[in-house]
Amino acid sequence: MDYQRIIDGIAREVQPLFVRGRVADYIPALASVPRDKFGMAVLTVDGELYATGDAGEAFSIQSISQVFTLTLALGYVGEKLWRRVGKEPSGSAFNSLVQLEYEKGIPRNPFINAGAHVVTDALMAARPYAKETLLKFVRELSGNPDIAYDEEVARSEAASGFRNRALANFLKAESNLHGDVDTVLDLYFHQCALAMSCIDLARAIAFLARGGRGGDGARVVSAPQAKRINALMQTSGTYDAAGDMAFRIGIPAKSGVGGGIVGIIPGRLALAAWSPALDKTGNSLAGVRALELFTTRTGFSVF
């Protein structure tokens, strides 16, 4: 299939969406990203790479980082991680305190903010230098040693992160955060501030299309674990729009408020798209549309 022609066509087709929606503006570093940026990258399981537009430009990956911390934490902590965080879709806004209180401090899944805090806390307990461990991990997965935390973004997130601080303190009150709240949040804000390009992301996420193996054939996670992370992305990877995304895109995907979104077609390829303007559910308007067009054009779907 001529992936290059397909994604080039998509890049043209999604342009009208750039002027719609809203760029995340809760911190200056995100608000200043031009809304006409668009990139898309595809990496097949055979290692062929296709890219278009701004696919090489780094952006703030935000919640997409939750896939990497979850993968790492599962490696260190194993299945008992699921005692502290659920696997069910959240059924409400991604930063809701209501559900957390109702469920006594056990977040519904690792892809809502509170769940990500617990995963981060678990990773920190297992790895003293978690911040360095995470950076090393994404650099290796993507083969790009220049990937870094955007310290300005991390600082801004910390300065405005009152709701995350509320969630983390609530988890602490419910005894589901073991480390120091500020230290956990510091790592959380840093992982959100990872700056990566579509190409970086497609490479980094591709182990989920390869049954858990990295580009060099080495195992990142077991095959069942890879399937399970894909399943989680399918049911919970796009905030409160996971059902609609499964409906429209039909593949496991994970998005971030920086406008990035990654998707997996198991056994075939990984893909990543980026466009800063968001719909009201916090997902990239053009990014989601790009994945939808890609699955429609290629006929790929898990269903």
List of residues contacting a copy of itself (CB under 8 A): 86-92, 96-102, 108-109, 162-163, 165-170, 172-173, 181, 226-228, 230-232, 234-236, 240-244, 246-247, 250, 252, 264, 266, 301-303
Please state, in angstroms and rounded to a whole number, the distance separating the CA atoms of residues 136 and 131.
9
Amino acid letter, 249: I
- For residues 112 and 122, which CB has a smaller minimum distance to a copy of itself in the complex? 112
- For residues 140 and 174, which CB has a smaller minimum distance to a copy of itself in the complex? 174
Q: How far is the CB of 44 from a copy of itself (least distance, A)?
A: 17
Q: How far is the CB of 99 from a copy of itself (least distance, A)?
A: 7
Please state, in angstroms and rounded to a whole number, the distance separating the CA atoms of residues 288 and 103.
31
Structure token digits, residue 4: 């290059």
Q: How far is the CB of 264 from a copy of itself (least distance, A)?
A: 8
- For residues 117 and 190, which CB has a smaller minimum distance to a copy of itself in the complex? 117
- For residues 163 and 280, which CB has a smaller minimum distance to a copy of itself in the complex? 163
Q: How far is the CB of 97 from a copy of itself (least distance, A)?
A: 4
Q: How far is the CB of 60 from a copy of itself (least distance, A)?
A: 20
Among residues 193, 204, 247, the alpha carbon closest in space to that of 229 is found at 204
Structure token digits, residue 52: 């278009």
- For residues 15 and 301, which CB has a smaller minimum distance to a copy of itself in the complex? 301
Q: Are 92 and 240 in contact (CB under 8 A)?
A: yes
Q: How far is the CB of 144 from a copy of itself (least distance, A)?
A: 26
Q: Are 175 and 169 in contact (CB under 8 A)?
A: no
Q: How far is the CB of 232 from a copy of itself (least distance, A)?
A: 7
Structure token digits, residue 26: 């809760």
Give the DSSP H/E element, type plus range, for residue 271.
Answer: strand 269-274
- For residues 16 and 224, which CB has a smaller minimum distance to a copy of itself in the complex? 224
Q: Are 294 and 286 in contact (CB under 8 A)?
A: no
- For residues 54 and 240, which CB has a smaller minimum distance to a copy of itself in the complex? 240
Tokens 């409160």 — which residue?
240
| Long-range CB contacts for residues 165-173, cutoff 8 Å, separation at least 24 | 166/97, 167/95, 167/97, 167/100, 167/113, 167/114, 167/117, 168/114, 168/117, 170/97, 170/100, 170/101, 170/105, 170/114, 171/100, 171/105, 171/107, 171/114, 171/117, 171/118, 171/121, 173/105
Q: How far is the CB of 41 from a copy of itself (least distance, A)?
A: 21
DSSP string, 172-198: HHTT---S-HHHHHHHHHHHHTEEE-H
- For residues 168 and 290, which CB has a smaller minimum distance to a copy of itself in the complex? 168
